[in-house]
Structure 1
Amino acid sequence: MHPHLVQGKQARCASLVHALEECHSAGLLPRLTGKCNDIKQQLNLCLREERIERTGRNAEKAKERQKEVKKVWSEIEQEG
């Protein structure tokens, strides 16, 4: 299952989101026969890549924040 898809939030995967929405709006038969499955699989892979990149960026930011916290604490300990 993919997360709730919001236009603009998943910018790189927007074309796949649009294609899946079009496939689903074509009616029940395409969904039941698996016509939308390839698009959904591509979308899942795209969303996974975005998530991996986002978590990597967040981890780097967290490391930088942690360095700053350690630096401030070491300055406080030296003063005291």
Structure 2
Amino acid sequence: MHPALADHTNPGCIDFAERLLNCHADNKWAKFFGKCNALSEALNKCLGEEFAVRRKKQQIEARERHARVKAKWDELKEDNRQQEEFERLLREKEAKKE
């Protein structure tokens, strides 16, 4: 059985879901013997396609987020490297004075 389908998360499959629910309501006993199987399979296919589209979109967004985070870390590492170089130069300068 399918979980409760929300209109906003599965907009392309609402028609299939409604038709399946109507089939189950109209055929209280025949649904147990496969009367609504074609509609159920169509709904499964629709949900699978929507899931694949959503997953692809999420992968793209995750890659973009990862790239932004990596850029920030690289920037912080560069700042840290520059700070360490500056401190090393100060120590060398102090050592020359003594």
Any idea what the Cα deviations from partners look like across 1:51-77, whole Å, max 9, x if unmatched?
Answer: 111111101100000000110011111
Within a 5 Å distance, the mapping from 1:52-63 to structure 2 comes to 52-63=52-63
Identical aligned residues as a percent: 32
Root-mean-square deviation (CA, aligned residues, Å) is 1.3
1:1-80 to structure 2, matched below 5 A, reads 1-80=1-80
Distance 2:42 2:66 in 1: 36
Which ranges of structure 2 fall in alignment gaps of 5 or more residues?
A: 81-98
Runs of 4+ more than 4 Å apart:
none
1:8·1:14 contact (CA, 8 Å) conserved in 2?
A: no
Q: Which has the higher contact order (CA 8 A, sep 6+)?
A: 1
Of structures 1 and 2, the larger Rg is shown by 2
Structure 1 stretches of 5 or more lacking a match? none
Whole-Å Cα distance in 2 between the matches of residues 61 and 35 of structure 1? 41
- What is the aligned residue count? 80
Higher helix share: 2
